[in-house]
Chain A
């Protein structure tokens, strides 16, 4: 009996390994190996066509003494502050409303999810025209003259609006699935006890859906710290407010592929990974205080 069990497990194990082999191989070749290579490059001075030589921590020294780098770091963090809390809050609201029994619920769900299906480049193109100072529809409708994309103190906020808009649908669907897992009996009991909709939301929905919120917050934070495509599309390299909008990944792109300094650019990537790791570690430590798994 016991022998049979081991055999079955083993053959299951074999098939398991076989099934994950393509993914693991892909990860090894496309993620892990390049990552190791990036770390090596970050300690090297690179020349054209892949030649490099070990140069110790000179890239890091240069990086830490560079004002542009610190500005980019702050820009990335600032972008997170702008997008994550507001974005997750709005997504939660949307999820709650989409869970109510309203007319055309399915259509609304589809509409909210649509931005997720559109390519980020296309999203940015359209928003860029809407935000155009001279001819954009937003300034036209409100009769204002705001330099949405060229005013250094506004530009990141503008990008954040677009980022939030694009992410709401996806986050809301995740949260919605979390909300739908909550048993209706809790709400029945609460309403018998005389709790209104708002009290129900705070005392039932929020704690019960907190594991999903946690996942959404972590994903959104990582995506925001790594933001590149949206800002690259919205803020061209001829834009005077470029330095105020340049995220870490944008700076990496410019150093690596425009200026061709792959060593220095790799140091920026390693820094970004450390930053994301640090922020995520704080998240996991902090979750004990507000995420409820055992309900």
Chain B
């Protein structure tokens, strides 16, 4: 009896294991290419729901010409995207095509996860990437070995967003190309005195915040060959002292305020006159704040009046790329789709969808034109103008490691727990140690 029982148990256990594992397989199986009726099924993973339609337009443009392929666009929120993607990479279950961000690109590329697509366009031109994309775009897609691990998708810059009504109320001229940090401060003072509202809202952020100031002053976050940090460089120190010091002014909220109210929220509830914003948010800001349309506009970043080196101009320019897995089952098809994504046609479709500026040189206007649809036309061309002096968004293979450490140190300076000098030294150590451990 007991024997029988044991046997029964084993059968049940086996059945249960089989069942659950089969369920598991079918769960993940969708990312494998299947030749269902001779059709290749590709998956395309992205994180921005606002760009889903644009990506679907790209997919259908491609599948129209290649009827034997179907492409499914899947959206995962930014927070989950990287956890999921890393797990998928470990299990060799990566989607066929996915977006890559400079924050993580080197980690994936240097570990051999991404397919090398340097020679993707060799049949068209050996210098396709150099001809069609800017140096910054290409650098944002390169692995540490200098090879291309994706096809540039878009590019962005950081600009100054300002409230026109508050400038009018204080009798201050709108920001223009000649503005310097001093004008930023002077305008903030006047607006605060006249309206009681906040002026420029400077908060703890790297890409949209202090990085811009550091590079304008002639400093750097990482040296050129990415072997050490630049937080103790005199120009960096100068910029950081200025930027962090802004919160000492009455017209700038302190970091406690920003921990609860983001500068964008404060700006669009008309509590402050200026803040920095990336171009990728402009379209949704217009759509989500219809009552504010016409009351605000954008300008280029104010320059550093007395840079330690350089001309005082800079705007951090990041960019995404489309990538595919080195060990993907549908590598050839995926590569062919990638090739389409980086073509003029593919980049144009993306620009017209409006969420991001195409990386392809000469197609910037497709993005600018999207803003014609609104009652008030933002001066979005200013964001395009800044590509001239755009600085590549800072990255290194160990960026995921030092990113949070540096940001913790910055918060300690803001809260007064450490002095600027101590804090910058700690940031320097954090970056150098992370690079040493790479």
Contact = CB atoms under 8 A, between A and B. Distances in A.
B16 A21 contact: yes
Contacts of B20: 25, 29
Interface residues on A, range: 35 or more
A141 B287 CA distance: 33
6 contacts: A21-B13, A135-B261, A149-B260, A238-B258, A238-B411, A241-B415
B257 interface: yes
Interface string A199-230: 00000000000000000000000000000000
B361 interface: no
Contacts of B411: 238-240, 242
A7 interface: yes
B107 interface: yes
Interface stretch (A126-134, A169-177, A273-281): A126-134
Contacts of B256: 133, 147, 150-151, 239-240
A17 interface: yes
A139 B219 CA distance: 42
Interface in A253-292: 254, 257-261
Interface string B106-132: 010001010000000000000000000
A152 B411 CA distance: 12
B9 interface: yes
Contacts, number: 92
Interface in B1-57: 1-2, 5, 8-9, 12-13, 16-17, 20
A134 B113 CA distance: 47
Contact of B408 (A13, A132, A149, A242): A242
Nearest to A68: B408
Contact of B12 (A21, A50, A239, A243): A21
A25 B404 contact: no
Interface of B: 1-2, 5, 8-9, 12-13, 16-17, 20, 82-83, 86, 89-90, 107, 111, 113, 203-205, 255-261, 400-401, 403-405, 407-408, 411-412, 414-415
A10 B3 CA distance: 11
B5 A240 contact: no
Given A10-B5, A149-B260, A152-B415, 17 more contacts: A17-B12, A22-B16, A132-B261, A149-B259, A150-B255, A150-B256, A150-B260, A235-B259, A237-B404, A238-B407, A238-B411, A240-B256, A240-B414, A257-B82, A258-B403, A259-B401, A259-B405
A140 interface: no
Interface of A: 6-7, 10, 13-14, 17-18, 21-22, 25, 29, 48-50, 128, 131-135, 147, 149-152, 235-243, 254, 257-261
Given A48-B86, A49-B113, A236 B259 contact: yes
Contacts of A14: 5, 8-9
Nearest to B265: A135
Contacts of B407: 237-238
Contacts of B404: 237, 254, 258-259
Contacts of B259: 149-150, 235-236, 238-241
B2 A10 contact: yes
A80 B49 CA distance: 39
A135 to B, nearest CB: 7
